Structure 1
Amino acid sequence: MTVPRTIVVGGGLAGLSASHTLLERRKSVLLLDKKSSLGGNSVKASSGINGAGTEAQRALKIEDTPEAFYTDTAASAGPKLIQPTLITALTTNSASAIAWLADTFDVDLSVVSRLGGHTVARTHRDKSGAPGWAITSALMKKLTTLASEPESHVEIIKSARVLKLLEEGGAVVGVEYEAGGSVVAAHGNVILATGSYAADFSSRGILASHRPELLALSTTNGDHATGDGLRLALALPAPAGVCDLDQVQVHPTGFVDPANPAAKTKFLAAEALRGAGGLLLDAQGARFVREVERRDVVTAAMQMVEGEGRGPVRLVLGERAAAEVKSHCDFYVSKGLMQRYADAAAFAEDTGISFDTILSKVATTTSYTLTEPLHVAIITPVVHYTMGGLSVDASARVLSEASGTPIAGLWAAGEVIGGVHGRNRLAGSSLLEAVVFGRIAGEGAAGEV
């Protein structure tokens, strides 16, 4: 007996979550990824994954609810762009998403922090400090194992570029893809999980069309993030709808590598660094913003500082803060992105910042002391996340531009969709969006096979 197959395009966390959900419902999966390895940007996520009302929160006596999470997300999205049904789907499914990762894939998400824009601690991560890798690699390993089993119901094809969506009578019925020099047609329901357009710096690309001023910035995204899913869905005879394509999140803290300061792709300085107590200082050593504000607020403050000639901006962590995110700091130091100073005097001598300024602006207003070691990095805003994308409903069905109704046979999940975050995404909600809508898309596609 042939098991009905669904085609998942993209092997990041959204695509992996959709694939596992389909398999749990005894459906067959063809997973296509244009890169030579799975994981996408998901493996690089460094802050964690949000959840409201989780077992980890209860163990730490943190009181939180999906309603409180909704309120924070809606405030971040802004009144003009808020889509209540999508935010409800994200927040009400957050605790079950965390439980699914922990129970099904044995992912440790026991460390819970409060990050910018959240009113309570709800961003979960593992003790290693690399939550994106911990979560995504667990799903990758299990899916790869399942694919290697006899009579497996999942096939993974890497270095496979999807050329177009196949359409019949207004419904999507499969894809045409190129792999190994051959063009192949595959039939079935389709889930697009292709990620963002945050590395689309081409002169006729999506960024150039909607946010041309961002072309001068660097990005934290891999070179695969060029808006492929959007283009595929927009090329249908009756195109898909899109929303919020001008809403692009510029993350405040990308590392400036002293060895290559002009690099177009930069390492992200995890939000967890500021959540742990990291300070942002201008060239004179003065603080200029509340470090755990929303990303858009911190970015605007940094851009003002740089525009006024008060840069570079430095991220400074004292001993206690660095200890909380030790694995991050050790990695950044090993890459030459962060420098460790013996104390404030050494920091002042090397940077030219007045020791008196450090004394008056830093040590006296924080728990830092003048004798403790400091971890310091130069940072700058970077293109990080695209809130815009394909228009979907709360069931992850892609909507038609003309009618606003679902396009039969087509779902989408992860950063390729728009409308979930409005003007600004909260830290910790990218991995959550991938898991929640990946699972929803998988359930929907499974139900219609």
Structure 2
Amino acid sequence: MAPERTIVVGGGLAGLSAGHTLLERGKSVLLLDKKPALGGNSVKASSGINGAETEAQRALEIDDTVQAFYTDTFASAGSDLARPALITALTSNSAAAIAWLTDTFGVDLSVVSRLGGHAAPRTHRDKSGAPGWAITSALMKKLTALAEAENPRVEIIKSARVVRLLEDGGAVVGVEYELLAGDIVSARGDVILATGGYAADSSPTGLLAQHRPELLALPTTNADHATGDGLLLATAVSAGTCDLDQVQVHPTGFVDPANPDAKTKFLAAEALRGAGGLLLDAHGKRFVKEVERRDVVTAAMQKAEGPVRLVLGARAAGEVKKHCDFYVSKGLMKRYADAAAFAEDVGIPLESILAAFAGYGAVGDPFSSNSSDSVNTPPAPYTATEPLHVAIITPVVHYTMGGLTVDASARVLSSKPTNTDTPLPIPGLYAAGEVIGGVHGRNRLAGSSLLEAVVFGRIAGGAGEV
């Protein structure tokens, strides 16, 4: 008998994690992606993946616990929107998720940093400075190799847009998808939706327009595929949704001097601030703790007089050298020989910049932080004579916390009322990654998007088994 086949919709990290997990369990997989290449937004993630009580933390003698990670995530979500079961699933499986990536796919996640909203260093990345690509490409390459092997149990079809979920007796039993030539094809099996969020949906009738119209004017970091397809497919079969008005505006998107009005912007990784980068307003003054939660930093930036600049001194830039080299090569970041050269170029009084440098990490610093990419080191000192890396930044629509309602087993829940007021799962339908809602509440912590993709992808691929 042929192994049971599951249909995975979406080829980002959540879909890839689900696909590999299904194969590990002896299942057969059909993976569909509407774009001509796999990877989604996952390949662009630049800060890392969170994990508590990991081998890398132990090697670096970092004191952290799953409970502390849970507490930070709960606080970030807000007590009114935090969902303990989903947060528990995310945090308690974090170390296993990282071990799976390192042991099964050979991904280097040995660099650990502390980012905004975290009580301890727990955001893991590789030494290349491109953790999203390192993780996602490793899973892509292995799944592609398995699909090209003799008698494969996985089939990958790209440029295949799912247009409908098939139902039978209230259960989801397959999909219809449209190929590039316009042909409509049916496939049968359980379905895992891993289609991403809706942060690139700027259409006048789209989800952002319906729930957060004031954000339509902001640029986004999302690729054009992030238009909420999975939400529309699932709600058409009576799936429930939650928190659709909860959209994360990331504080630091690069303003490209060559195209300052571009709607899509490149993300300035939170790792830059975690390494000791400073935020300066138009007058060269700091105005917020740089590694505060994203929502807090964004709110402060929107009140500050711009342009707001991200400034990294020699030690901070050294911590994230490959990031900086890449951004400089793209024209998004500029190098200066020293503070005087920076001040002269941008028209800020040198004394203002030096005052900001002198106050960083000093006694009484109102924006003090002990965070750095180098574990257990104080903030990087800034001097008048060291070279600087500088970029103009702006808030960007980055991530949608809302999505499909799921339980801790990644089962999509129905919106239909029940006698007990407890929503029931829709048989045959699972979801993982940014398409699901409720995991992050009001605010997602840096490093938890890749984690959500892996953890819930693994849970969905294991039919609820962790």
TM-score by length of 2: 0.94
Post-superposition CA distance 1:218-270 (Å, at most 9, x none): 0000000000000000111xx10000000000000000000000101000000
CA positional deviation for 1:64? 1.1
Aligned to 2:265: 266
- Cα separation, 2, equivalents of 1:281 and 1:54: 35
CA contact (8 A) 2:411 2:464 kept: no
Q: Secondary structure at the match of 1:288?
A: coil
Contact 2:50 2:123 in 1 (8 A): yes
> Quick one: structure 1 residues 429 and 192, their matched pair in 2 at CA, closer, same or farther if it must change by over 3 Å?
same
> Structure 1 counterpart of 2:449, which letter?
S
Deviation readout 1:332-351 (Å, 9 max, x if unpaired): 00000000000000000000
Alpha-carbon displacement from aligned partner over 1:370-424 (angstroms, at most 9, x marks no partner): 0000000000000000000000000000000114110000000000000000000
Which residues of structure 1 form unaligned runs of 5+?
A: none
Contact 2:459 2:465 in 1 (8 A): no
Cα contact 2:46–2:269 (8 A) shared by 1: yes
The equivalent residue for 1:173 is 173
**Per-residue CA shift, 1:307-360, capped at 9, x if unaligned?**
xxx100000000000000000000000000000000000000000000111122
Contact 1:177 1:184 in 2 (8 A): yes
| Corresponding residue number in structure 2 for 1:363 | 358
State the one-letter code of the partner of 1:295.
R
The CA distance in 1 between the partners of 2:136 and 2:359, in whole Å, is 42
Aligned residue in 1 for 2:364:
none
User: Quick check: 1:220 aligned with 2:224?
Assistant: no
Question: How far did 1:10 drift?
Answer: 0.1
| Change over 3 Å in CA distance of 1:30–1:396 after alignment to 2 | same
Rounded to whole Å, the distance in 1 between the matches of 2:296 and 2:465 is 41
Say if 2:302 is the partner of 1:311.
no
1:428 aligns with 2:447: yes
* Cα contact 1:386–1:415 (8 A) shared by 2: yes
Q: Is the 8 A contact 1:49 1:125 kept in 2?
A: yes
- State the percentage of identical aligned residues: 79
One-letter amino acid of the counterpart of residue 25, structure 1? R
Structure 2 CA distance for aligned equivalents of residues 285 and 46 of structure 1 = 27
SS in 1 for 2:16: helix
Matches of 2:55 and 2:331, distance apart in 1: 38
Aligned-partner SS, 2:8:
strand
Q: CA contact under 8 A between 2:409 and 2:464: conserved in structure 1?
A: no
2:149: which partner in 1? 149
CA distance in 2, matches of 1:319, 1:87: 37
Structure 2 matches for 1:318-397, cutoff 5 A? Answer: 318-366=313-361, 367-397=381-411
2:267 maps to 1:248: no
| Corresponding residue number in structure 1 for 2:89 | 89
Could you tell me how far apart the structure 2 residues matched to 1:444 and 1:96 are? Answer: 17
Contact 1:317 1:376 in 2 (8 A): yes
Partner AA of 2:96 in structure 1: S
Give the deviation of 1:108 after TM superposition. Answer: 0.4
Q: What is the 5 A alignment of 1:23-422?
A: 23-181=23-181, 182-236=183-237, 239-305=238-304, 310-366=305-361, 367-403=381-417, 404-422=423-441
- The one-character-per-residue Cα deviations of 1:170-194 (angstroms, maximum 9, x if unpaired) are 0000000011421100000000000
Query: In structure 2, how many angstroms separate the alpha carbons of the residues matched to 1:364 and 1:291?
Result: 13
Asked if 2 retains the 8 angstrom alpha-carbon contact of 1:251 and 1:295, the reply is yes
C-alpha contact 2:433 2:457 (8 A) present in aligned 1: yes
C-alpha contact (below 8 Å) 1:274/1:291 kept by paired residues: yes
Following superposition, which runs of at least 4 residues in structure 1 exceed 4 angstroms of deviation? none
- CA gap 1:365/1:446 in 2 versus in 1, 3 angstroms: closer
- Higher alpha-carbon deviation: 180-189 or 125-134: 180-189
CA distance in 2 between counterparts of 1:315 and 1:361 reads: 13
Q: Residue 377 of structure 2 aligns with which residue?
A: none
Contact map agreement 1:283 1:311 (CA 8 A) in 2: yes
Answer whether contact 2:410 2:464 (CA < 8 A) is retained: no
Residues 27, 446 of structure 1: 8 Å contact kept: no
Query: By how many angstroms is 1:361 displaced?
Result: 2.1
Partners in 1 of 2:356 and 2:299 — Cα distance?
21
Give the whole-Å Cα distance in 2 for the aligned partners of 1:152 and 1:322: 45
Contact 1:340 1:375 in 2 (8 A): yes
Q: Kindly state the Cα deviation for residue 135 of structure 1 after the two structures are TM-superposed.
A: 0.2
Where 1:444 maps in the other structure, the secondary structure is coil
Asked if the contact 1:6–1:445 (Cα under 8 Å) also holds between the matched residues in 2, the reply is no
Write the letter of the residue equivalent to 2:235: L
Paired AA for residue 17 in structure 1: S
SS class of match (1:422):
coil
Provide the C-alpha distance between the structure 2 equivalents of 1:123 and 1:285, rounded to a whole number of angstroms: 29
Counterpart secondary structure, 2:141: helix
